[in-house]
Chains A and B, each alone.
Chain A
C-alpha cells in the first residue's frame, strides 16, 4: 500500500490549541481549533486523538513542528522535530499562502504582533510589550461582559452608524470608558464599533509604531474572524486587508511547513505516534531549587516514570536541554 506523507503543526497558545496536518503540497488534510482551558496537556492529547481519526488511514506522519508560547511543552508531549517561535512560524505561513504579502498583522489571545516581510523573508517584527489592551483576551472579556457571543461581536460593530470614541491606550481605561458611554445611553453597536477602532488605533500606535506598513496586508490570528476589527483596520490603513482562508491556524501551518522542510532533508521524525501520545500519562511536580537565593520554581514534567523535561531555572542548572542540565549539575 502506498502511504501518503503528512506533516503536523501544533500551536499551543494562551487561549487556543491548534493542530493542522498538511500534505507534501501544503494542502490542508485536517485542522482543529480548540480552547486551551488552562489544561494544555490534556486538551492537546484529546486534540491529537481527534486528529488521528480525522486523517485518512493511508497517511503517515513524517514530521512535526510546534510553536506558540507552549511550544516546548507541546514538543515534549508529541515528540517534535522543529520547535519554533510564533513570529517565524506566522511569517512562513503568510509567505506560503499569500506569496506577495509584505505586512502581517497577527492578533492572538495574549499578544499581538506585526511582521514585516520583504523579498520573501522576515525583515522586521514587533510584539506588544507592556499591555494587553489590543489582544483577543480583552475582546473576549468585553464580549462576555456585554453578554454577546464573541462570534457576533464583529457583525454587531458593522451595524453601528456613529461609533463612540473609546480610549484605547489601556484595557482598564478602555473598560471604564465603555461603561461611561454605556451609562450615557449609547447603543451597544456604537460602543462595540468604538472599541474596535480603539483597539486598531492602539495596535498601530504601539505594535506598528515606526513600521512601514505596505500592502499587501495579511491579517491572521483568531481575532481576524472579527469583521469589525477587519473593517477598522481597512479604514485606518486605507488599503484592503487579506484574511487567508485558514487565518486561525496560521501559526500551526507555519510549524507544519517548517517540519516539512526539516523532513525533506531525509531526516527521520521524532513523532511519538498518535497512540503513544494518547496513552502516555504526564504528571508534573514543582519544587523550589535551593541552589541560590533565586529560589527558582522548577517544574518537572514526568512521562510515566521518567523525567521528560524541566523548566523554570534561571541559571541553566535545570536547563532547557537536559544534557546541559546534567553538565551544570556536575559543576555546582
Chain B
C-alpha cells in the first residue's frame, strides 16, 4: 500500500510523519504548480470549486509516482467539501485509475465506521502506537503553525528583503529528506530558532491585516497567490484566523480550553449571523468582529470563486466594516494566473490603511496640542 493525500499548506508534514511512524509507505504529492492546476481543471467538472480541482491534480501527480491509496477527510458539512471524497473517487474511477480511497468523515455518530477505516489504514499497529503517532502528528501541526507565525512577524520587519523566505525555502528542502515525526519535529524546531534570529529593522512599524475566509484558500499559498508573502513584502504583518492547528484542535482533539475560546469568538458574530451556514462563513464573520475589536488595521476575506458560504459572509461583512470602521476587502481566487490585478488591489488596500493610520496619528497629535 502506497498512500497519498491532497496538499493543504503545511499539512503534508504531519501526515507524512504520521504515516512514516505507522510504517506505511507514503507518497507526498509534488508541490502544487501550474501543472497540478492544469491536470485538475482538465479532469474536474467545470462548475466545481477550485480546491476540488487542485486535489485531483495532486492525486494524479501522486499516482504517477506510484501511489495506490488516497486518504482525505470528509466533513459531512453543508458545504461542497462534504462530497469531495465521493466525487473525487468517481472521477478517478471514470478515468480508469485503480485506487483505493479512504475517506475519514468526522465520527459524529458512526464510530464503528471511523475505527474500521483507521484499522484499514494502520494495519497491524497497536492502538497505543496509533494514538501516540496521532499525538506526535498533532504536535507537528501545532509547531509548524508556530513556525509560520514567526515567519509572518519576521517577513514584515526583516532588515533585508527575502531573508525570511530564503530560510523557509531551505526548510522545505531539508524537511523532505526527513523520516518520521521525530525527525520532522526536530527540523521544525531547528528552523523556529533560525527564523526567530532573522535580523529586524527596528524602524519598521508594520500595519496589521487579518485574513479571514475559506480555509483551504487561506492555508494553501499556491491558491491564494502567496498573499502572505506579498503583504509581508509591503511591510504588513498578517494574522491568520484559520490555521491547520486551529482546525485540528476544534475538530479532532479534546482540548476543552481551545473549544471554549472557539465558542467565545463565534459568539461575537451573534448580531450578524448566529448559526452555521456551511463552510467557515460563521467563523469569517466572528473573526472579522474579533479582529476589529483587537484594533487590526484591516481585514481581507479570501474565497474560491463560487464558494457559497463565503458569498453569504461577503454580503454581511460591509455591515461589520460599517459598525467597527475597519476596512474589509474581499478577494476571489480562481484558476487565474494573472497576478497584476490582484497585486494592484492589495497595494491599494495597503495604501488606504496607511493613509488612515497617518491621519489617526495626526489627529492624536493635534488633540495633544489642543489639550
Contact = CB atoms under 8 A, between A and B. Distances in A.
Contacts of A69: 340, 344
Nearest to A88: B351
Most buried by A among B344, B349, B355: B344
B162 A328 contact: yes
Contacts of A120: 359
A314 B230 CA distance: 11
A293 B165 contact: no
Contacts, number: 85
B333 to A, nearest CB: 11
Interface stretch (B33-41, B45-53, B119-127): B33-41
Given A88-B348, A124-B327, A119 B359 contact: yes
Interface string A276-297: 0000000000000000111110
A86 B344 contact: yes
A295 B355 CA distance: 38
B18 to A, nearest CB: 26
Interface string B249-292: 00000000000000000000000000000000000000000000
A87 interface: yes
B35 A129 contact: no
Given A69-B340, A121-B352, A316 B34 contact: no
Contacts of B161: 321, 323-324, 327
Interface in B348-363: 348-349, 351-352, 355-356, 359
Nearest to B35: A293
Contacts of B343: 85
Q: How large is the interface on A (under 10, 10 to 19, 20 to 34, 35 or more residues)?
A: 20 to 34
A280 to B, nearest CB: 24
A187 B226 CA distance: 51
A72 to B, nearest CB: 9
Given A293-B36, A328-B165, 18 more contacts: A69-B340, A87-B344, A111-B341, A122-B355, A127-B345, A130-B332, A210-B315, A292-B31, A293-B31, A293-B33, A314-B226, A316-B162, A323-B161, A327-B163, A327-B166, A328-B162, A331-B169, A331-B170
19 contacts: A69-B344, A84-B351, A86-B348, A87-B345, A87-B348, A88-B348, A88-B351, A120-B359, A121-B352, A122-B348, A125-B348, A127-B344, A129-B332, A293-B34, A295-B35, A327-B160, A327-B162, A327-B166, A328-B169
Interface of B: 30-31, 33-36, 160-163, 165-166, 169-170, 226, 229, 315, 318, 327, 332, 339-341, 343-345, 347-349, 351-352, 355-356, 359
